[in-house]
Amino acid sequence: GVETDPRALVGATVSGVHFRFKAGEFFQVNPSALPVLVEHVGLRARAGGRATRLVDAYCGGGFFALSLARHFERVAGVEVSVDNVEAARENAERNRISNAEFEAGEVEALFEPLLARDAEGYAPETTTVILDPPRKGSSAAFLEQLFAFGPARVVYVSCDPATQARDAAFFVEAGYVLREAQPVDLFPQTRHVECVCTFDRLPPNGEAADLPPLEPSPTATPLLS
């Protein structure tokens, strides 16, 4: 059925992870297609096994962080909604996921504590950042801190390819290369599409040809590869 009370708790299970969250809070749509999205994002986030840490920005109730936690030694999620952070922590406990931590706060301030926690393993060379911002895309303040942190890989998930393309230009200016753009049909029979872009930081010599090849994805042929 349809829940009309935004404060009511509702549930969903994706890729074996059980989520509970308030009906009025954001959660990905189209549960039949979500396993495909999670599988592809996870494949790219792991970076062929080179990434051991995952940072989930705009993490909501912990959707990507918890769905992918089993592939990483440590996972950190940040979210502006206190309710979502509480739900993410409860979802981690419900699923007995002990390697994920969640903090409430402005996403623009995420990377300052991460830089301070390098001793705990959040080093740029072994960290992937997943971005799943609102339709308006990422703010300039957030991107500035992201690029200062300099993760080796960023997986950018967006429901608005136009703002994603705008932000992609900033990634290129900051020394990243767009390796792949993969659409996922979360909104069938509409003009909308979810798009997953994979960015890698260029090596010191600036040659994209020296980056490791992407692993084959079980999803459809990408728009750009």
- What are the residue numbers of the active site? 159, 194
Are 54 and 151 in contact, with CB atoms under 8 Å apart?
Answer: no
Residues near 193 by beta carbon (within 8 Å), at least 6 away in sequence = 159, 161, 183, 184, 185, 186, 187
Report the first-to-last Cα separation within the chain, whole angstroms. Answer: 40
DSSP state of 71: G
Is residue 165 classed exposed, middle or buried when 0-12, 13-18 and 19+ CB atoms within 10 A define those classes?
A: middle
Residue with tokens 């599988």: 39
Phi and psi at residue 198, to the nearest 5°: -110, 120
